[in-house]
Structure 1
């Protein structure tokens, strides 16, 4: 898929209750396109940094206090890139990938997942832009009227971020794959996912 659009992060305002950061909104244009297999390693590095970084390298989206090990691997990234129902949508600045998300087309909704922004530029408005572009694509290009996603239930800060952007719980839950180290090594018991939905 080759849909490409350009936007400017500075065109979006950010309230004081948004992501915890004092960063300025970037003025450099942001472009969006679906990833190719040449992008797999860069996306993998960003996803691991966003979800597993610790200490000074960690952004506010890290899950390292809940999960050790990997968040994903190159095989899964490649599978998602080549998905016939969607792919990995990327955000780029200066030709460099700075964020990505999984976007899949289902019969009655779009699924949004594996959302990752490089920790070095988190809370600058890039996440807002990437989510907005994914919603626009699902609505205008795919003709869908609903987007769904899942979040680990104890990620209260991340859930609050999604709720501020219009997502609401559906009541559906699913268990974390404790028996599959491909998705991480749990540090705590009782992890599970909550599903959220937004009308597009």
Structure 2
């Protein structure tokens, strides 16, 4: 696959099932182990649901970015996604998922670039923020190589709220990463 064969578009409600399947495959269960973004060792349960997709699509200044290519039958194949939103005076980047078997091939970098472009150029925001589970050293290092810095600001993991998964350990928390444009 060439990087030029990728196309970007905004998700619609019709994409909900495919988005949930992609996000779940990238983070939960055995399928996620084909990539390096798996959370299966410390979280069970769901990563996202139709309710999350709808909430993202219903928000103002919020888009779920979809990355596709034409498959063998010429039908679009969903490869990656990310939620981009304006939040507290900056862009917010979340729900970032690349099909596990394609991770490490450069698609994720293209997604991040497009998400940052939306926040910077379309919405005129000065920075992009995200939250990452702070035990994810390899993932944090990936974002640091893309210019994000650890802010030292933490948010508690929502223990007891099954919409965020079923923790296998009791020391999870989110760290805020930020990149200034």
TM-score in terms of structure 2 length: 0.92
Secondary structure of the 1:114 match is: strand
Alignment of 1:56-67 (within 5 A): 58-67=34-43
* Counterpart for residue 93 of structure 1: 69
**C-alpha separation between the residues in 1 aligned to 2:21 and 2:31?**
17
Describe how 1:100-111 pairs up with structure 2 within 5 A. 100-111=81-92
* RMSD, aligned CA: 1.5
Q: CA offset at residue 81 of structure 1?
A: 2.1
Matched, 1:50 2:50: no
Equivalent residue, structure 1, for 2:104: 123
Q: Is the 8 A contact 1:87 1:102 kept in 2?
A: yes
Indicate the larger mover: 51-60 or 89-98: 51-60
What are the ranges of 5 or more consecutive residues in structure 1 without an aligned counterpart? 1-24
Aligned length: 176
> Which residue of structure 1 aligns with residue 73 of structure 2?
none
Conserved in 2, the CA contact under 8 Å of 1:28 and 1:93? no
In 2, Cα distance between equivalents of 1:91 and 1:133: 10
The structure with the largest helix share of the pair is 2
Deviation at 1:179, TM superposition (A): 1.1
Q: Normalising by structure 1, what TM-score? A: 0.83
CA change 1:69–1:171 in 2 (3 A) is same
- Match for 1:178 among 159, 162, 179? 159
Question: Structure 2: how far apart are the matches of 1:81 and 1:120?
Answer: 27
Distance in 1 between residues matched to 2:130 and 2:33, nearest whole Å: 26
2:93 corresponds to which of 112, 116, 135: 112
CA distance in 2, matches of 1:32, 1:122: 17
Please give the alpha-carbon distance, in whole angstroms, between the structure 2 residues aligned to 1:27 and 1:104: 25
Distance 1:81 1:96, change over 3 A: farther
Distance 1:91 1:158 in 2: 20
- The Cα offsets for residues 45-64 of structure 1, whole Å up to 9 and x where unpaired, read as 00000010326853110000
Measure the CA separation in 2 of the matches of 1:161 and 1:39.
28
